[in-house]
A and B are shown apart, each in its own frame.
Chain A
Amino acid sequence: MQDRITAANTKTMNRFELTSRLVKRLDEQTAVVAGIGNTNFDLWAAGRRPANFYMLGSMGLAFPIALGVALAQPQRKVIALEGDGSLLMQLGCLTTIAMLSPKNLTLIAFDNGIYQITGGQKTPAQSGADIVAVARGAGLAGSAWAADEADFDGLIEAALASGKPTLIAARIDSEAARATTHRDPVQIRERFMVGLGVRTAM
């Protein structure tokens, strides 16, 4: 694994492919919180898991929600998936996560430089900001760009084992999600709580 701070020379990958690879590697216990729009749609498309949470609004709150889960259940690994535009809405949360430094939280940012779901407008970060450099600057020292799919797998493995919160960024294409999440917030929340062992199924 290289110490990769900039997006240069990283492969442009696909969100569904990366999400599917991620989900296949996870045990049932690992919680996954996915942000608004295509990010959670592709998590849904990658196959239902009891410990998945799909966000249907509140743009930018995937990392904070995942942080809350990680603090509540320090023994459970928690992975948060977020889009670059969403992350820009809530960059301050990176400093909160760095300050608290939960051992069980890994952050993944899918970066295509656009607001894909609203018509593909460029984000203000596209002109030269680097979200891994931002994450490192916020205090998440081990953050890195994934060079390709195999590197993505390796970075996640290392992040989960590191005992430190880390942001892994992947450059992705602008392909739409493969499916659409069933938009029933109460059912999503209840199933997630069952998946986390907080509730038993009715």
Chain B
Amino acid sequence: MSEKRPWDQVVLDTLKQNEVRLVPYVPDKVLGSLITKLHADPAFTTFPTAREEEAVGIVSGGWMGGVRGAVLMQTSGFATLANALASLAVPYQIPLIMFVSERGTLGEFNFGQALVCRTMRPVLDSLAIEHHTITDIDALEFIVDRSIKQAVATQAAVTFILSPLLTGGKVFAA
């Protein structure tokens, strides 16, 4: 069954199974199909925010209020988050769940995206935030399901970096 589902459906189903309900995002083309499916599913409260930090604040408040959440963003958006991670999610021990659609690699056409991508893993590593780069749809459910459970159980943030190998990425249109 699972190999027949596209990656976005696997993510949605796994979020639902793990009672993740609050899903704010800053839009991204690669995440577009997932965002559309989340909006169409009444199990989720999903909406755009003006900035990724804002979405981190919202799911942090949501979790303290008893509702699990996840934030969707692209690589450049993650780069705006160092302060919110270092002063909110990590020290308050909030199981912040982040999905980052990876740009800047495997066919990137924008030099700025390629550069900002290189800041992502060092920031995560410097704060000892668990992260997984997911390239294979067969491993997707296992990684997301287990890691959400671990995040909640250990009250620690986790980041899922969705590789172009999984999603197809964004290709140069011109």
Min CB distance A97 to B, Å, is 10
Min CB distance A80 to B, Å, is 9
Min CB distance B151 to A, Å, is 15
Category for how many chain A residues contact B: 35 or more
Q: Are B45 and A71 in contact (CB under 8 A)?
A: yes
Of residues B60, B67, B84, B86, which shows the largest number of chain A Cβ atoms within 10 Å of its Cβ?
B60
Q: Are B65 and A69 in contact (CB under 8 A)?
A: yes
Give bound CA distance, A67 to B58, whole Å.
6
Q: For the complex, is B112 an interface residue (Cβ under 8 Å from A)?
A: no
Q: Are B58 and A64 in contact (CB under 8 A)?
A: yes
Give bound CA distance, A131 to B64, whole Å.
28
Q: Are A93 and B54 in contact (CB under 8 A)?
A: yes
Contact with A along B77-110 (1 / 0, CB 8 A): 0000001101110011110000000000000000
- Residues of chain B lying within 8 A (CB to CB) of residue A99: 47
Contact with B along A183-199 (1 / 0, CB 8 A): 00110110011001110
Q: Are B49 and A92 in contact (CB under 8 A)?
A: yes
CB proximity to A under 8 Å, residues B87-145? 87-88, 91-94
Looking at the complex, which one of A55, A71, A76, A188 makes contact with B58 (CB distance below 8 Å)? A71
Looking at the complex, which one of A73, A95, A188 makes contact with B65 (CB distance below 8 Å)? A73
Q: Are A68 and B60 in contact (CB under 8 A)?
A: yes
Q: Are B53 and A90 in contact (CB under 8 A)?
A: yes
Q: Are A71 and B92 in contact (CB under 8 A)?
A: no
Given contacts A65-B61, A186-B92, A189-B92, contact A96 B47 (CB under 8 A): yes
Q: Are B61 and A185 in contact (CB under 8 A)?
A: no
- Residues of chain B lying within 8 A (CB to CB) of residue A197: 66
Q: For the complex, is B50 an interface residue (Cβ under 8 Å from A)?
A: yes
Contact with B along A55-72 (1 / 0, CB 8 A): 111111111111111111
Give bound CA distance, A185 to B88, whole Å.
8
Min CB distance B95 to A, Å, is 11
Q: For the complex, is B27 an interface residue (Cβ under 8 Å from A)?
A: no
Given contacts A71-B45, A93-B50, A189-B94, contact A61 B84 (CB under 8 A): yes
Min CB distance A92 to B, Å, is 3
- Residues of chain B lying within 8 A (CB to CB) of residue A53: 64
- Residues of chain B lying within 8 A (CB to CB) of residue A188: 92
Give bound CA distance, A33 to B58, whole Å.
12
A-B pairs with lowest CB-CB distance, top 7 = A57-B87, A68-B61, A92-B50, A72-B65, A64-B57, A61-B57, A68-B62
Chain A residues close to B by CB (< 8 Å): 31, 33, 53, 55-73, 76, 90, 92-93, 95-96, 99-100, 185-186, 188-189, 192-193, 196-198
Known: A58-B56, A70-B61, A198-B64; 14 extra A-B contacts, CB below 8 A, are: A33-B61, A56-B87, A56-B91, A57-B91, A64-B57, A65-B60, A67-B61, A68-B62, A70-B65, A71-B67, A90-B54, A92-B51, A96-B58, A196-B66
Would you mind naming 28 contact pairs between A and B with Cβ atoms under 8 Å apart? A31-B65, A57-B83, A57-B86, A58-B87, A58-B88, A61-B56, A61-B60, A64-B56, A64-B61, A66-B61, A67-B58, A67-B61, A68-B58, A70-B61, A71-B22, A72-B66, A73-B66, A92-B49, A93-B49, A96-B50, A96-B58, A185-B92, A186-B91, A188-B92, A189-B93, A192-B64, A196-B64, A198-B65
